[in-house]
Structures are given as structure tokens and as C-alpha cells.
Amino acid sequence: MNPSSKPKGSFCGNLRRREFLHTAGAGFPALALAGLLSQDGFFGSVNAATAAANPLAVKPPMIPAKAKNVIFLFMYGGPSHIDTFDYKPGMYGMDGKTIDVKTFGRGGKRNQGRIVEPKWKFKQYGQCGKWVSDLFPHVGQCVDDIAFIHSMTADSPIHGSALLMMNCGSVISGKPSLGSWVNYGLGSANENLPGYVVMLDQSGGPISGAKNWTSGFMPAGYQGTVFRSHGEPILNLSNAAGMERTGQRMVIDSLNQLNQSHLAARPDNSNLAARIASYELAYRMQVSAPEAIDLNQESEETKRLYGIDQPQTEDFGRKCLLARRLVERGVRFIQIYSGGAHNDDNWDAHGDLEKNHTHHAGATDKAIAGLLQDLKRRGLLEETLVVWGGEFGRQPTAEYEKGTGRDHNAYGFTMWMAGGGVKGGVSVGATDELGSAAVENRYHVKHLHSTILTLLGLDPDGLSYFYGGLDQKLVGVEGADPIREVIG
Amino acid sequence: MIRPLSAFLFLLATSAWSAPADGPKFFAEKVYPILEAKCFECHGGKDKLRGGLRLTSSAGLRKGGDLGSAIDESHPENSLLLKMIAYADDEHQMPPKAKLPEAELSVLREWILLGAPYDPALEIAGNDHGGFAITTEQREHWAYRPLTSPPVPEKAGVHPIDAFLDAKLAEAGLSRNGPAPAEQLARRLHYNLTGLPPTLDEVRAFADQARRDGLSKAVAAKVDTLLASPAYGEHWARHWLDLVRYAETNGFERDNPKPHIWRFRDYVVDAFNADLPYDRFVIEQLAGDEIPEPTQTSLTATGFHHLMQWDDEPADREQHRYDVLADNVQITAETFLATTLGCARCHDHKADPISQRDYYSFMAFFHGVTPYRTEGSSVSWASAAERAAFVQAQAKRIADAEAKLAALDTALSAWLKQTGQLATNSQKPSIWIDDAQGAGAEWSYTTEPPSPDWYETSFRPTTWSKGRSGFGTPGTPGAVVHTEWRTKDLWMVTSFGLNAMPEDLSLRLHHDEDVEVYLNGTEIYRAKGYLTEYTTIVLGETALKALQTGRNTLAVHCLQRGGGQYIDVSLRSGDGGFASLADAMKRAGEGLRKGAKQRFGRDIVKERKDLVAAIDRIRKEVPGVPLNAVQETSANPAPLHVHLRGSAHALGAPVVPGFPAVLASLDGSEPVPVAAESVNRKGVVSSGRRLALARWIANSNNPLTARVMVNRIWQHHFGRGIVPSSNDFGQLGESPTHPELLDYLASEFIATGWSVKAMHRLILSSAAAQMSSAGTEEGLARDPANDLFWRANMRRLTAEEIRDSILAVTGTLNAARTGGPWVFPPLPAEVLATASRPGAVWPVSPDPADHVRRSLYIHVKRSLRHPFLADFDQADTDSPCAVRFATTVPTQALAMLNSGFTNEQAALLGERLRKEQPDLAHQVRAAFYLVTQRDPAEADERVATALLHRLQTEGGLDEKQALNRLALLALNLNEFVYLD
């Protein structure tokens, strides 16, 4: 084989690609086992003969990094940009007017529609004077830390494929999700907690469920772990009924003894050692994960900041506060869903826009602002990138003959980012005067992904994983540039 | 026609800058600044060149990018560049960030019409790659060379496989390990052939025979026994299902099941068990419908083409159709040929000698396949005689049931009338689509034959007419005509939103004549003949299942042969009070039911409901076995073009079916075209293209097919293939560590008639397959990765093996029940909560005996994976998996220690120990040997006994609880989940 034909992305000039090592059955011990596993390369020592180096070990960034962690606030269902952050003053007074406008949603492509004017008033906030609707009075207070991208576009206006696009970069499933790429590129800073955490809405998961946090063709160690904000945070974390922690320790101690004598006859097999160690890690995770979600350690003032004292904001506020605590503990990528299941259980306002958005914004506004403020005062915002948005936006026109419901819109919508090296008080790109399509500085989901990776110190065109004869990338083979206007 | 206009435009344009000499100046002053500011970032080629287009030089512009030349020299006004900057349509929009301002547009327009002159002083040339050509080096890549029959290194009395391996080991100064202890070998053989553990008795018997008759004889006998066991096919089918990314749902929003696709799984199991020759196995999956005498089995095999993800509501239907085809092309090429074609979909393959034309010529073999549908393009298999007999019997069964129904109705009607229950009208019905007797509804309709997927949710009737119901000819009995329809056929589609699921669903309709009704792509009603008045039809469970919150589509086709047309359909629930018997029955509450029960002495309402459902079911029955199989409908599929950049909307040159040049041509770089013989049998018309492809693949002259399969068989015995990248034999894959051995095995494979079982016997009779896994100082020093196979590779059990083994050792595995529809064992609520329909997504199988079947039979749902199997690296459902990962992560330890599943199983194991063993000492011993199939060492027993003691004295457990803990510990042993 001609080594020069190897595309970039192969690691350390080794004979075998890292990817092939995993697929050759050599294991994926996602553990840092100092003293047990050799760290000095794949073939460097007898003991490490069959073991890859810990794939989740912290790796240095590929390019200078501004952010260390990401909190992705996923507004599932598609929030209406013109009712939240994309101010369209010209639309007031046009309610009910039928106009020519190209739209594409679940109802198909249309060339005409009845305008539903923005249902909330907008006010200016902050030094930058950003116009924000009355749905987000608390987030409004934070606009000087936020960069808005008003010219987002996506490939699909249908939930299933659009969610996959936003999470995994393709309308076809099977590709690893953004959080998997980040953990693959940077590793996990806390081995007692998962490096990639997903918190779902109480009403259920998003369409396609686990496909949204899958590691696709990468090993399962990179996939998102569903984390619950109440009770047992991770599946199987608690001991089975009747098992005391001391009793469990006895079982593990005896298990270790027996496994050690099994290992003694096979000292060169580091996978066996890794499995022994994984029981210790699991045992520690049983302490560290509940500790991470224990909000009793937080002051009342902090809880109020996130709206945890109010029934309306309690749930999302708790998840946002948890996200901060997880960031403090080194969790690399956290995604929180606002909305789950179908229809009005999420931002998918096809029927009554006012009722739907009042509900979902009301449940999240205070919590999101609290998160930004709390991160900032603790000095964490600088290294924590907060991303807000859904899989698409909504149309300026009504979906049905009657009512205020809007259909999906992937031609133009708004996402915003804060912290993690993002410029504050900035707005990039624009939709037309109705918000029906992005017309100025248009950006695709790929550019958003490219920006997130760049801020984390990962080269979007260089971060690749060899699979199916191709160096696969989150942003596709063609690559995509980051949105430079928002990078500070 | 265009010429005069273009000449006119050209004149207009050149009027300002008439002299060609002004061109460079115009470029430098007006054009260059625009290009530099708006285009060069991506098309300047400093760091990257998007779309292959370079605009910094005249040559680059003229050569163009992936979409072809940016300029049309003879008709400049038609230039691609103009179309792009004018934002002509979704596919043509440059620069992507925003349309250029009008002033800049007109400058570029003028420049193009001038013939796009450059100022040579400002040109920057690039060194872009030229056309596609296969190099000699690529052509001579080991995998593309013809199969050889290498001489076996001569060594008397040595198995050929050992001779090949020993030759290389000797070069490295190494020697092969001796045989593994019989106990280890028995476990290895059982797991590698059946995926299940042996019993202690089986291990002992094997060891005894090895001592008595010698190891070779014992192994040969064991292999024969295991190959004859049904569990062999179940285990090896799983390897195959990984390759073809087998799943039983479509994915995306609804993630609907693929009806009957489990028959494909059973086909694969049966094929391995029956030792179906591999060449036949290939042909049946690719073209089981096109072979001379298709059978139910061969049709079932074509389910191969239906395993992929499929979006019933894609944003871009055309593109999605080809995404699906591309998925199948990838699977075909990787599974049978270990060739990764995927990258050539958008561009010529950068490293492998596969051109984009090769790719689309390959795709053309599949182009005639009918696109997938919600119902899975079900084909039903029956002979003509069976068919006729069935139709007759069906008619009789329906008539019988209807007669019974009529009798019930008479009785019930009389009673309802008598008791005055028909009078009130207390409840408002929910009407989603009203009929013309009410408000009517707006429908899209057409009288021209629509596209075949007209009733699917994804279909948008944008070009159809709109009209209010009912449709027909005035004067038809009982008709209320709002829109006239006088032709033979009428297709109509409408949609409605739904916020909450109703409890019942009914159609009110009037039709003249035959009608078929689809709800969200599912057929919910079909009737022949005509009615003379509106009738309410209570819909069964099929219709309720098809209904969804959010957007729903109702599609109707009505056929009238002789005039007097009429069709009107209303969809509703809780229909308007007890206006009729049907309404009363549909909404029969507890009161009505009790009353009827009292009056008739039996639950007549339920009887009636069951009868209606039964009639519904009988009507839907089709003769024969329903299959999720592939079909074509034409001898000549529509032409296929190269898709530039992989976009179905950017068509390049047309292609015909052809084999990749590097595999099929000795010297050319063009794909080798194939004239497929079309199939035209009674009721079956097909292009024959897939059969042509299948025969080329399943051919002893194909350099890849046999090598690829023997490598896979080797891999599952030795832990890695002779070619470690077993799905990629291309230049980016890995080279064989033992090329002569690979060719020897491939030749033997063909020589034995492509018998997979014969290959197992050949491999397993070698001393290499029986080696110990122990490390030696020499071996670990010189070949730590075991590239030379000096010892056996230890391996962790797969996800399915771990779950099945737990069930097996606790004595609960239901191994006797094989095949049939998928099963749903219970899942933790936390896992169900991750689904968008937590309550509806996983209907637990009613029979507990199904919960403990082999993992192979658990429903494979794309959006919801079985958590235990997923934890242990079960293959992904969307991508081919040639080699499973074997990760070690703490969540696995949590699942093994804490999950409900392992704790229930541990308790069952404890129960088994108490029941079968007389005392604690025996129970401890059995806990070990049931799980590891060996008698424990004294030290092991001491650890176990000490644990039992501590759990009781310090842990406060009773004896029973403590033993259950020991059982749990046993299931967690490394020795249990690792094979030597």
C-alpha cells in the first residue's frame, strides 16, 4: 500500500488507522488506566499489544480553541424566528392579508399565503439595542453576550430529516452526531461522567429518538448518554432493589479477585484489565453522577436565578443548572431539549401559535437567561459555548384557513450563540422583510457546525473519521467555513 | 429560435465595449474586483476549491467544475455562471451567502456576453487534476488480480492452512502455539458456530473423546454436530444481517415497521442451515425475482433491497429516491465485493480507481426497482391454482360472516328501536372531512393516472385541480354533486390536522362504483360495486393505527366503468348520536352493552364488533404468503444519468448498466456496459439487470467474490480477517497478511461448490484453529498484534451472545422457538421515555415465552434500540458493520450489575442452583460451572464461600439473597464474557 495515498486524518503515521484498530476487534477501553494500559502508542509495549490508547482521553485541540464545552439548547419543533428574535416591524398591520410568498413546509410548497403578523411586541435591549420579542424578556437582558445568526438555512423543512440535519449534519441517518464528533476530537475531561449528555423533555424524546445522539459508525463510547434531572440520572445507575452499597462493594471485591486470577494466566490481554477497571469506574460513577445532579448544594438565590422556584420554569431551569454543574465537572457536550413528543408538546405551532409559544418560551426564557448570567458571573461563559435554536423556523403565513398556526420554514431562521469565544451583541445575516427566506449572508447548518467545531479548536475540514472508504466529516466531504463574523 | 435573440443580446452587450482589446481592461477594472470579493474565497484555490471550479483563470472558467463548463462559448447567454448568479432555482444559487446586487450582476452578465475575457496579468493558474484514468499500479492492486491457486507449501502430514501459516511464522522465527485445552476449545467451537455456550456435560464429553480418539476426531465430530444444529444458522445469519444493516422499520418521523421483513431474516438463517451454495445465496438476494423459476424463498431473499432507511415524507423526493438507491448500491458493493463505491457518488474516487461513471453505471443495475412504499411493496406468493381456490373460499367466508352479521343487526335494530335508544342525538361527532350532505370538503383531484405513490403521505398534489365534494354526475342515485366528474377514474387527495387521537374512526361514504381509500399511505377501505345512499363504515384497527396527530392525508380512488359516477367520502369519529345501528354499535357504552347482554343473554355487541373486524380482515387477506420483496414493472427502466455532485437535480451524461472498469476491463478506464436480458413471464416484467449483475458477482472469475466471503468466514473463527478490513479490499483498505492462503481458501471455496459448511470444516480442521490463546514471550516480543496467527485471539462475546448466554445458563433461554415474526421483550420505562411516542412504540409481546428467545428475534427498531444490546456494541442499523466494535465502558458494568434484566436472571440462576443442588458447597460449584463450563479451582470456591459469608454476616442478607448475589457475580465474570 502506498502510504502517501492515505488522506489526512490518519493518526500519528501508524501503520493502521485508529479506526481500523477498533474494527479489528482490538477493543475500545474508554478508560484512562494509568499503570494498567500503556499510553505510549498502539504497538509500543507488549502489554498494550491489543489495546488502543484510551479513545476518550483528553486530546489537544487541532487549532487554537476558544471554548471547552458546549451547551446546546435545542428548541425542538422549530420556534418562530419572527416572533422571537428576528424583528419584522413592517409586518404589523398586515395580519390577514394574502400575499405572494414562496414557502415550503409539511403542507408542501406554496406560492401564496395569509400573513399572520408577529403576535408579540418587540423591545430594544442592551447596549447593542437588539430587538427582542416579549416572549423572551429575560434573554433580552443578555443580548450583549449573544451573537444572533438570522440567515440560517437547512436542507429539510420536515421534522424527522431536519432533526438529523441539525444534530448529525445529514438528512439521512447513520452519521455520528455533533456531540460524538466533539468527544471524538477532544476526548472527555471527566472519566467518572459521560462526556456527552442529553436531557430530554418530560413529554418524550424528539422524533427519531436515539438517532439524534447516536455515534453512527463510530464506537458506541462516543454516543450521547441520556441524563435525567430527577431520580436516577443514568440508566442502571442505581443498585438493584435490596442491594446495599456495602453489599455491592463486597460483590465487586470478590469479582475483582476472581477476575484477577483469570487475568494472571493472560497477563498480556489489556482488555481484561480494562474490564476490571470499568467496574471501579462504574462504582465511582454511581457516586459522582448523583452528586452532579444534587441541587441541594446550590443556594436559593441561584435556584431562583434559573426559575427553579416557579412551577412553570422549574423543569427547564433545573436542567440548565444541571448543565452548568456538568460543565464544571468537565462534561464536554450537553444538549437540552425544550419540547418532546409531537405537535404542541414542542415548539411545533401548527394550530395556535400564541398558546404554543407562550407556553414554551414561558418555560425556558428565565432559565436560559439564568444560565447565561450564572455562567458569566462564575467566569465559565468564556469557555462555554451556549447554542440556542431548533431544527428550523416558521413561516410568515398561516398554515390553515383559520388560526395563527405557522408551518415549518427551512428557507430562513434564527439561531444564536453566546460565550465560548463568540462576539456578543452581534447580529449576522438577514431574512427578507417577511422572514420567509434568508437573503443576506446566508448560512447553512454546516456553517453552524463548522463554527462550533472551530470555537472548540477542531478544524472542521480536518476532523475526519475513516469509514466506508472515505474520510467522513461532520461538515461533509466538501467542507464548510465557520461563520467568522460571530467569532470574537 | 434562440439564435436571433442571442445575437441581439450580444449586440446590445458589445455596444458598450465593442473592441475585443477592451476586454482585459474591462475585466481588470470592473470584473476582477467582484470576483475577488465574492468568488475567489471558494473558487480561488488557495486552500480549497469548492465544486472543482477555479475562477482565477480563463482556463479554469472554461474547464468548469463538477457541473461542467461555467461558460457556453457558442451561446454565452446560456452560460452556467449566469444561471448561478441569477439564482435561477434552488440548485443554482451563487454566491451562496446572498444574491449579488443588481449592479454587479449586470457587470458579470456583460462580461460573459463579451466572451469572458481575462487580463492575463491577473490570472492565477492552478494545478487541478485532469481526467479519470486507471493507473497500472491500481490495476495491479492485489484484490483485482485474478484468483490464483497457489501451491501449498510442502510439508508432509500438515494441514494446508497450517502449512501456509507456518511458512510465514518460520520466516519470523516464530512457531505456532499448541492446541488449546479441550475445555477452552469446546467453548470456542460452540460460540463460534452457534453463538451459545456448551453445557458442562458437552464439554466433558468432548474432552473425553479427545483423549480417547484424538483431538482431530473429536473436533470433526463436534463441528458436524454444531453445523447440524439450528442454532448455527441463527448465529451466522447475525453476521450476515450486520453486513446488510438489517432493520425492521423505516426510520424517520413515523419509523413504521417493514411488514413481513422478518421473513428475510429467516431466509438467511435457513440459507446457512441448509448450506445454500454461496453463489446461489448472492443471486437470490440480488435477483430472486428475475431468476428463471422464482420461488417463495427466492422472492423472500430480495427483501435485501428493502432493508434500508426510508423517509415517507422527504423534503426532496427525487433526491431521497436516489439516497435510498445509493444506500443499496453501497451495501451491494461492500457486502459482496468489499468495494467502497460511496465516494464516487459525487466525484471520481480520489484513491480507489472507481470513476463517477463507474458508480452510476453500477447504480443503473438497480434503477428499475419500484421505489419503496409504506406498506413495503408487499408481494404475495401463491400458485395460480392456489390463487383461484383462495378467492372462492374467501367469497364464501365473507358471505357467511355477512349473513351472521345481518342476523345480529336485525335483532339489535329491533331491540334498539323497541327500547327507544335510537332517538337521542346527544353527542357532537368529530368530523375531519365532511361529506356533501354536510359542509363538504375541499379536495385535490385528477382524472389522469397519477404517479404510483399518489396515496403516500409524501405525495403533494400540487398540479392537481381543486374541488368541493361530492364528485360525480348529477342524477346518480343519492348523489349531492358539487364538482362534476364524468371520466372513468378519479383520484382525490385531501389532508387534515389532528390534535388528539380519537377512540374510534368511521367513514361515511357513497360510491359508484369501485372505491379504494388510503389514510397516510395505508389502505383502510376497499369495495367493489356501487351504493345508492350514504353508508357509515366503522373502521378497524388498521385505520386507527394509520391515524396520527398532526397532518393526515386521505386519498381516494374511484373507478366507474359505465357512467353514473359518484364518490364522496367523510372521515369522522363519535358519529352523530345513535342515528343508526352502526353508530350505536360503534359508540356502545357500558350501559348499552349491559342492556343488550341482559336482553340477549350474551355479549352481542362484542360479537358484532368481532364479526365486523373479521369481515374486514377476511377482505384484506390475499392468497399465499405475504412477502416484503422487490419488484420491477418494466423491461426498460427510465434512463439514468450521472448525478453531478451527487445531486439528483444536476444531471450529467446518461449511463447504461455496467461493471466498474477496474474489475471488468483489462485495459480500459470506462465502465464495461452490459446488455441485460429482460424478463417477461406471466405477470412479471423486469429489466433483468440485477440478474446480470448477480451472475457477474456470483462467478468464479470474479476476483473478489470468493475472496471476500472466505475472508469473512475466517474472520469469525480467528477474530480478524486475513484482510483485516473485511468490507474494504480497495487501496485504502488493509492488505492481506497471508495473500496465498486467502487465494487457496477462495479456490477451495469455489471447488466445493461455494459450500460455507465445507469451508468451516476446512478451517476448523487445521491445527491453527485449535491453537491456544496463551501468550509466549517470543510471540509477544516479535508479533504482539498476532499478525502471523501464532496464537488464537481472545475475544469478547457479542451483545447477542452475552444476552443469549445469560438466558442459557440460567436455564430460561427459549431456544426451541425459531423463526417467525419479531418479538418485543419488556424494556425499562426510562428507555421508552426517549421515544417521541413513549406509550406506543414498543408493544410488549403477550407471551412471556417470547421474552426469552434468542436476541436475533428481538424487533430491530431504528429509533429505539434494545439498551442492553446497544450497550454491548450491537451493529448500527444504518451502516454496514463488517467488524463489531468490542468496547469496554463503565455503562456496561452498570448494566451487568444493576439492570433489571441481569438481576432477574441472577435470581433465576439462584433458584436453579437451589433446586438442582443438594447443599451450599454444590451450589457454589455449580454457580461456576454453569457459567464457565469448567469446575472451579479451590481458590475460586474459597472466594465465593467467603463472599456468601460476608454478605450474610456484614451485609445482612439471608442465605437465599446471598446466593443470588453470587449468581450475579458469576454472570459478571470476565471468564464468562471472554473466550480463549
Cβ separation A272–B944 shorter than 8 A: no
State how far the Cα of B529 lies from the Cα of B711, in Å rounded to an integer: 60
Cβ separation A350–B550 shorter than 8 A: yes
Closest CA to B804 of B98, B82, B344, B196: B196
Q: Give the pLDDT confidence of A6-44 residue by residue, as tens digits.
A: 333 333 233 445 555 544 444 455 444 433 333 333 223
Contacts of residue B493, defined as CB under 8 A and 6 or more positions apart, other chains included, come to: B443, B444, B445, B454, B455, B459, B461, B464, B553, B554, B555, B556
Q: Is the pLDDT of residue B9 over 80?
A: no
Whether B763 is covered by a domain: the verdict is no
What Å distances lie between residue A95 and A98, A403, A404, A434, CA to CA? 9, 11, 10, 12
In this structure, the answer to whether residues B376 and B432 fall within a common structural domain is no
State how far the Cα of B176 lies from the Cα of B93, in Å rounded to an integer: 64
Q: Are strands A69-75 and A333-338 parallel, antiparallel or unpaired?
A: parallel
Domains of chain A: 69-235+286-486 (3.40.720.10)
State how far the Cα of B99 lies from the Cα of A151, in Å rounded to an integer: 13
Q: Give the pLDDT confidence of A351-396 residue by residue, as tens digits.
A: 999 999 999 999 999 999 999 999 999 999 999 999 999 999 999 9
Percent of chain A with pLDDT over 90: 73
Residue A378 Cα, gap to closest chain B Cα (Å): 31
State how far the Cα of A170 lies from the Cα of A161, in Å rounded to an integer: 8
In this structure, the answer to whether residues B460 and B566 fall within a common structural domain is yes
One-letter amino acid identity for B307? L
In this structure, the answer to whether residues B305 and B443 fall within a common structural domain is no
In this structure, the answer to whether residues B340 and B439 fall within a common structural domain is no
- CA gyration radius, chain A: 24
Residue B456 Cα, gap to closest chain A Cα (Å): 13
State how far the Cα of B487 lies from the Cα of B564, in Å rounded to an integer: 10
Final residue of a structural domain among B528, B544, B575: B575
For residue B961, list chain A residues with Cβ-Cβ distance below 8 A.
242
Mean pLDDT for chain A overall = 88
Q: Is the pLDDT of residue B576 over 90?
A: no
Whether B99 is covered by a domain: the verdict is yes
Helices (H), B116-214: 136-139, 160-171, 182-194, 200-213
In this structure, the answer to whether residues B36 and B101 fall within a common structural domain is yes
Question: Any chain A CB within 8 A of the CB of B795?
Answer: yes
Contacts of residue B569, defined as CB under 8 A and 6 or more positions apart, other chains included, come to: B433, B435, B469, B507, B508, B509, B511, B515, B517, B554, B556
Give the cell for residue B738: 497471508
In this structure, the answer to whether residues B564 and B638 fall within a common structural domain is no
State how far the Cα of B644 lies from the Cα of A158, in Å rounded to an integer: 25
- Residue with more model confidence, B429 or B650: B650
If contacts are CB pairs under 8 Å, which of residues 110-149 in chain A contact chain B? none
Contacts of residue B347, defined as CB under 8 A and 6 or more positions apart, other chains included, come to: A477, B52, B66, B356, B645
Please check whether residue A149 is in contact with residue A86, taking contact to mean a CB–CB distance below 8 angstroms.
no
Tell me what pLDDT residue A46 has: 31
Q: Give the pLDDT confidence of B851-899 residue by residue, as tens digits.
A: 999 999 999 999 999 999 999 999 989 999 999 988 888 899 999 999 9
Please check whether residue B282 is in contact with residue B273, taking contact to mean a CB–CB distance below 8 angstroms.
no
Whether B668 is covered by a domain: the verdict is yes
> Which of A30, A210, A440 is closest, CB to CB, to B887?
A30
Cβ separation A104–B346 shorter than 8 A: no
State how far the Cα of B474 lies from the Cα of B177, in Å rounded to an integer: 91
If contacts are CB pairs under 8 Å, which of residues 960-979 in chain B contact chain A? 961, 965, 968-969, 972-975, 977-978
Neighbours of B137 (CB within 10 A): 11
Neighbours of B555 (CB within 10 A): 26
In this structure, the answer to whether residues B49 and B112 fall within a common structural domain is yes
Cell 487541532: give the residue.
A62
* Average pLDDT of span B776-790: 92
Q: Give the pLDDT confidence of A120-143 residue by residue, as tens digits.
A: 999 999 999 999 999 999 999 999
For residue A250, list chain B residues with Cβ-Cβ distance below 8 A.
947, 950-951, 954-955
Neighbours of B667 (CB within 10 A): 8
In this structure, the answer to whether residues B347 and B456 fall within a common structural domain is no
Whether B853 is covered by a domain: the verdict is no
> Which of B50, B251, B551 is closest, CB to CB, to A106?
B551
State how far the Cα of B178 lies from the Cα of B169, in Å rounded to an integer: 14
Cα B284 to the chain's mean position, in Å?
17
Final residue of a structural domain among B88, B122, B156: B122
Residue A377 Cα, gap to closest chain B Cα (Å): 34
Contacts of residue A147, defined as CB under 8 A and 6 or more positions apart, other chains included, come to: A416, A417, A418, A422, A423, A424, A425, A426, A427, A428, A485, A486
Best B183, B714, B891 member to test A by mutation, with max A CBs in 10 Å, is B891
Contacts of residue B134, defined as CB under 8 A and 6 or more positions apart, other chains included, come to: B353, B661, B662, B669
Q: Is the pLDDT of residue A287 over 60?
A: yes
Whether B103 is covered by a domain: the verdict is yes
Mean pLDDT for chain B overall = 89
State how far the Cα of B932 lies from the Cα of B935, in Å rounded to an integer: 8
Tell me what pLDDT residue B6 has: 41
Cβ separation A251–B947 shorter than 8 A: yes
If contacts are CB pairs under 8 Å, which of residues 774-793 in chain B contact chain A? 774-775, 780-781, 784-786, 793
Cell 450474610: give the residue.
B952
Q: Is the pLDDT of residue B766 over 60?
A: yes
State how far the Cα of B570 lies from the Cα of B251, in Å rounded to an integer: 31
Q: Give the pLDDT confidence of B736-751 residue by residue, as tens digits.
A: 999 999 999 999 999 9
State how far the Cα of B543 lies from the Cα of B524, in Å rounded to an integer: 5
- The pTM score is 0.82
Q: Are strands A225-226 and A196-199 parallel, antiparallel or unpaired?
A: parallel
State how far the Cα of A93 lies from the Cα of A107, in Å rounded to an integer: 26
Q: Is the pLDDT of residue A153 over 50?
A: yes
DSSP A33-86: -TTTS--S-SSSSSTTTT----TTS----SS--S-SEEEEEEETT---GGGTTS
Tell me what pLDDT residue B847 has: 96
Q: Give the pLDDT confidence of B176-195 residue by residue, as tens digits.
A: 999 999 999 999 999 999 99
Tell me what pLDDT residue B474 has: 84
Percent of chain B with pLDDT over 90: 58
Lowest mean pLDDT among B366-380, B648-662, B833-847: B366-380
Cβ separation B460–A109 shorter than 8 A: yes
In this structure, the answer to whether residues B434 and B366 fall within a common structural domain is no
Confidence of residue B590 (pLDDT cuts 50, 70, 90): low
Percent of chain B with pLDDT over 70: 94
**Domains in chain B: how many in total?**
4
What Å distances lie between residue B918 and B200, B644, B922, B924, B925, CA to CA? 18, 75, 7, 11, 11
- Chains A, B: CB contacts within 8 A come to 365
Closest CA to A348 of A71, A158, A137, A114: A158
Name, of B46-60, B761-775, B837-851, B880-894, the range with top average pLDDT.
Answer: B761-775
State how far the Cα of B832 lies from the Cα of B683, in Å rounded to an integer: 45
| E strand segments, A209-276 | 225-226
Q: Is the pLDDT of residue A89 over 50?
A: yes
Tell me what pLDDT residue B588 has: 60
Cβ separation A31–B889 shorter than 8 A: yes
Residue A67 Cα, gap to closest chain B Cα (Å): 25
Phi and psi for A359 in degrees, rounded to 5? Answer: -65, -55
Please check whether residue B830 is in contact with residue A226, taking contact to mean a CB–CB distance below 8 angstroms.
yes
Cβ separation B969–A255 shorter than 8 A: yes
- The verdict on whether omega for the bond into residue B470 sits within 30 degrees of 0, i.e. cis, is yes
For residue A216, list chain B residues with Cβ-Cβ distance below 8 A.
876, 878-879
Tell me what pLDDT residue B1 has: 35
- Here the CATH number for the domain that contains residue B558 is 2.60.120.260
State how far the Cα of A130 lies from the Cα of B533, in Å rounded to an integer: 63
Say how many CA atoms lie within 13 Å of A20 toward its Cβ: 24
Give the cell for residue B917: 443442588
Q: Report the alpha-carbon angle B304-B307-B313, nearest 5.
A: 135
Beta bridge partners of A72: A335, A387
Phi-psi region of B410 (alpha: psi -120 to 50; beta: other; left: phi over 0): alpha
Question: Any chain A CB within 8 A of the CB of B449?
Answer: no
Whether B114 is covered by a domain: the verdict is yes
Q: What is the maximum span of chain B, computed from C-alpha positions, in angstroms?
A: 110
Helix axes B689-697, B317-337, angle to 10 degrees: 30
In this structure, the answer to whether residues B468 and B362 fall within a common structural domain is no
Whether B944 is covered by a domain: the verdict is yes
Q: Are strands B442-446 and A69-75 parallel, antiparallel or unpaired?
A: unpaired
State how far the Cα of B970 lies from the Cα of B940, in Å rounded to an integer: 11
Name, of A413-422, B500-509, B628-637, B774-783, the range with top average pLDDT.
Answer: A413-422
One-letter amino acid identity for B973? L
State how far the Cα of B533 lies from the Cα of B553, in Å rounded to an integer: 25
Please check whether residue B377 is in contact with residue B312, taking contact to mean a CB–CB distance below 8 angstroms.
no
Contacts of residue B932, defined as CB under 8 A and 6 or more positions apart, other chains included, come to: B970, B973, B975, B976
In this structure, the answer to whether residues B443 and B321 fall within a common structural domain is no
Tell me what pLDDT residue B310 has: 94
Final residue of a structural domain among B556, B575, B594: B575
* Average pLDDT of span B647-658: 92
Cα four-point dihedral sign B7, B13, B19, B22? negative
> Which of A31, A205, A440 is closest, CB to CB, to B835?
A205
Please check whether residue B379 is in contact with residue B631, taking contact to mean a CB–CB distance below 8 angstroms.
yes
Nearest CA in chain B to A218: B885
Confidence of residue B460 (pLDDT cuts 50, 70, 90): confident
| Domain assignment of residue B39, given as a range | 2-122
Q: Is the pLDDT of residue B242 over 60?
A: yes
Whether B196 is covered by a domain: the verdict is no
In this structure, the answer to whether residues B645 and B571 fall within a common structural domain is no
DSSP B503-565: S--EEEEEEESEEEEEETTEEEEEE-SB-SS-EEEE--HHHHHH--SEEEEEEEEEE-SSS--
For residue A342, list chain B residues with Cβ-Cβ distance below 8 A.
548-550, 836-837
Cβ separation A28–B886 shorter than 8 A: yes
What Å distances lie between residue B142 and A20, A199, B148, B152, CA to CA? 19, 50, 11, 19
For residue B351, list chain A residues with Cβ-Cβ distance below 8 A.
5, 7
Residue B735 Cα, gap to closest chain A Cα (Å): 7
Phi and psi for B472 in degrees, rounded to 5? Answer: 160, -160
